[in-house]
């Protein structure tokens, strides 16, 4: 503290508070059907995020490319890649060059013929993939059937430690299942990140906002939800704080936005509103159908 003896108390308070903030970059864009075109955009966004001193750059689901209803499961499978393929490897290289963490998703090849995984990844600033998660809840609802082209993951990935706290990964439709976010929170997640491509439609934006706020409130954590915009998707990429306050809503705008999150707020909220501690897991299982 002696080093700050010349600073007025009010400015000292501001400096101390800012030390606890980390800057998150959220990207919202319209993916084309050409993955090379999309990759070029992605690399540009990573560079821009780093130039603004963001700690992490988060992208939406299906950032690799947009697949329309006419694309067959074989065509999708042929375009998919392994985790060590060109798409993720190129992004990892950009993360290392720009010294920034990157969160996104891609179509991952599977051993099942003409089926792919919808896989999210976390890359650290050294360019290492430190976590992957394969989407568990496929969007077989409201006239859509992702299971016609995809295969679901079989487990929830453990939260991973990053410079923006302990991250729990989800993907889009997973947000509608509170059991998953609660499991991640109980396992230590301070931030839930959900790359998404939320299909627009009747009441869909209302559901999107309500669900993201609810996941944050009930778990006392941040929710970072980058979303696709354009094509059939609604946009409205969000960042919600642990008390349910919307810190960022990108509406219908393509581009990159920045928001500061305070890691101490998770501890503060969970102390004054100890929902995780107040659970009665001893009685929940006594209710029979």
- Which tens digit of pLDDT belongs to each residue from 10-55? 554 444 444 568 999 999 999 999 999 999 999 999 999 999 999 9
Catalytic residues: 61, 135, 172
For residues 61 and 282, give the distance between their C-alpha atoms in angstroms, rounded to a whole number.
37
For 239, phi and psi rounded to 5 degrees? -130, 125
What's the pLDDT score for residue 2?
Answer: 43
What's the pLDDT score for residue 288?
Answer: 82
Q: Which domains occur in the chain, in start order?
A: 23-165+196-205+226-234+247-261 (3.60.110.10)
| Confidence check: pLDDT of 66 > 70 | yes
Q: Is 97 exposed, middle or buried (0-12, 13-18, 19+ CB in 10 A)?
A: middle
Q: What letter would DSSP give residue 237? A: -
What's the pLDDT score for residue 10?
Answer: 55
| Confidence check: pLDDT of 142 > 50 | yes
> Strand, coil or helix: what is 175?
helix
The mean of the pLDDT values for the chain is 94
Mean pLDDT value of segment 247-254: 98
Q: Is 62 exposed, middle or buried (0-12, 13-18, 19+ CB in 10 A)?
A: buried
What's the pLDDT score for residue 9?
Answer: 57
Mean pLDDT value of segment 165-174: 98
Helix boundaries (H) for 104-155? none
Mean pLDDT value of segment 6-13: 52
Strand 255-262's sheet: what is its strand order? Answer: 129-134, 116-123, 101-109, 56-58, 21-28, 255-262
289: pLDDT confidence band, cut at 50, 70 and 90? confident
241: pLDDT confidence band, cut at 50, 70 and 90? very high
In this structure, are residues 229 and 31 in contact, taking their beta carbons and an 8 Å threshold? no
For residues 221 and 37, give the distance between their C-alpha atoms in angstroms, rounded to a whole number.
35
> Strand, coil or helix: what is 133?
strand
What's the pLDDT score for residue 11?
Answer: 53
Q: Is 1 exposed, middle or buried (0-12, 13-18, 19+ CB in 10 A)?
A: exposed
In this structure, are residues 96 and 124 in contact, taking their beta carbons and an 8 Å threshold? no
Q: Is 230 left (phi over 0), alpha (psi -120 to 50) or beta?
A: left
3: pLDDT confidence band, cut at 50, 70 and 90? very low
In this structure, are residues 258 and 247 in contact, taking their beta carbons and an 8 Å threshold? no
* 35-51 vs 86-98: helix crossing angle, rounded to 10: 10
Q: Of all residues in the chain, what percent carry a pLDDT higher than 90? A: 89
In this structure, are residues 196 and 171 in contact, taking their beta carbons and an 8 Å threshold? yes
> Strand, coil or helix: what is 144?
coil
For 122, phi and psi rounded to 5 degrees? -125, 125
> Strand, coil or helix: what is 253?
coil
For 177-225, write each residue's pLDDT tens digit.
Answer: 999 999 999 999 999 999 999 999 999 999 999 999 999 999 999 999 9
What's the pLDDT score for residue 285?
Answer: 86
CB-based contacts of 14: which residues, under 8 Å, 6+ apart?
Answer: none
Q: Of all residues in the chain, what percent carry a pLDDT higher than 70? A: 93
For residues 88 and 197, give the distance between their C-alpha atoms in angstroms, rounded to a whole number.
19
- What is the Cα 166 distance to its own chain's centre? 13
| Confidence check: pLDDT of 69 > 90 | no
What's the pLDDT score for residue 1?
Answer: 44
For residues 117 and 80, give the distance between their C-alpha atoms in angstroms, rounded to a whole number.
9
What's the pLDDT score for residue 19?
Answer: 55
């Amino acid at each position: 503290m002696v080093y700050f003896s010349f600073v007025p108390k009010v400015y000292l308070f501001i400096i101390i508070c800012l030390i606890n903030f980390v800057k998150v970059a959220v990207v919202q864009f319209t993916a084309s059907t050409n993955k090379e075109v999309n990759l070029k955009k992605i690399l540009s966004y990573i560079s821009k995020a780093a130039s603004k001193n963001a700690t992490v750059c988060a992208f939406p689901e299906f950032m690799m490319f947009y697949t329309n209803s006419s694309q067959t499961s074989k065509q999708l499978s042929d375009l998919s890649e392994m985790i060590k393929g060109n798409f993720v490897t190129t992004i990892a290289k950009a993360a290392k060059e720009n010294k920034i963490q990157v969160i996104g998703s891609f179509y991952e090849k599977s051993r099942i013929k003409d089926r792919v995984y919808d896989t999210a990844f976390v890359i650290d600033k050294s360019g290492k993939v430190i976590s992957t998660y394969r989407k568990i809840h496929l969007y077989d609802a409201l006239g859509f059937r992702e299971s016609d082209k995809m295969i679901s993951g079989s487990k929830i990935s453990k939260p991973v430690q990053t410079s923006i706290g302990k991250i729990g990964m989800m993907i889009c439709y997973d947000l509608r299942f509170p059991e998953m976010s609660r499991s991640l929170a109980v396992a230590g997640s301070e931030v839930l990140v959900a790359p998404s491509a939320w299909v627009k439609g009747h009441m869909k934006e209302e559901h999107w906002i309500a669900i993201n706020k609810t996941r944050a409130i009930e778990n006392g954590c941040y929710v970072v939800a980058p979303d696709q915009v354009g094509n059939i998707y609604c946009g409205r990429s969000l960042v919600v704080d642990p008390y349910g306050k919307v810190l960022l809503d990108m509406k219908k705008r393509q581009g990159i936005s920045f928001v500061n999150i305070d890691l101490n707020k998770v501890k503060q909220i969970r102390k004054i509103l100890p929902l995780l501690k107040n659970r009665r897991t001893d009685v929940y299982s006594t209710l029979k159908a």
